[in-house]
Amino acid sequence: MREVVIVTGASSGIGLAIARRLRAGGYAVHGGALEEGEGCRVLNVRSDESVAAFVRGVTDEAGRIDVLVNNAGFALAGAAEETSMEEARAQLETNFFGAARMVGAVLPFMRRQSGGRIIHVSSGVVVAGGPFHSFYCASKWALEGYAESVAHEVRPFGVRVCIVQPGSFRTGIVRNARHVGRSMEEYSADREAVLRAMERHTVEAPEPEAVARCVEKIIRSRQPRLRYRVGPDVRLSAGLKALLPRGAYEKLVRAYYGLK
């Protein structure tokens, strides 16, 4: 019997790479996205009704859910002072509450099955918070704290929770980032420098296939770890953060983002 996998945000970038690899590996993949596309049905993780309908559709068709890959999300670009609370709430509603909403919908099925995998696609920003993406960083830090707590709660039911921390990969997350509505002149030069640097790093980055391989590895593992870092940049950053004095490390982070 093929394992049944839900992948959110499966229409592009990392989500699409994960869905394609798992389909090629013989998994029954149910992709969710805001619009129908390659193997995707409509799923809005910000809506209780949309999430419930999507999960019900999967269980009606497949009878079970073995794996949830929480990947749906977007980046919000702008200084913290430029960001309205409405914009900040929208960021967390998708990246954090959307993931929690999906977990709440699939857990009853996984508990009854006495097993399952919940895999959260986080970000390298939990290693080094990125300037001009404060609420994106907040959403990923919140997601990781939530995931670590839930991992303890569901372990007695045979459900394992894992976190994947991708570094920079060649996706549209920077190009398609939402920009805050307020633009303050005081931040303009640094903001533009950071966005240029991030776009350059994304263009030069590898394809997201490595993240897809990591997700497949987690699914196949009998005893998966809580956290997996994927990408040379995030692994190097974590290593340097552990070794260097804080000031020296922060200088490297600022240089990476094009800041003086």
**Active-site residues: which are they?**
11, 122, 136, 140
Task: Let me know: does 160 contact 228? Beta carbons within 8 Å.
Answer: no
With a CB cutoff of 8 Å and minimum separation 6, the contacts of 193 are 257, 258, 259
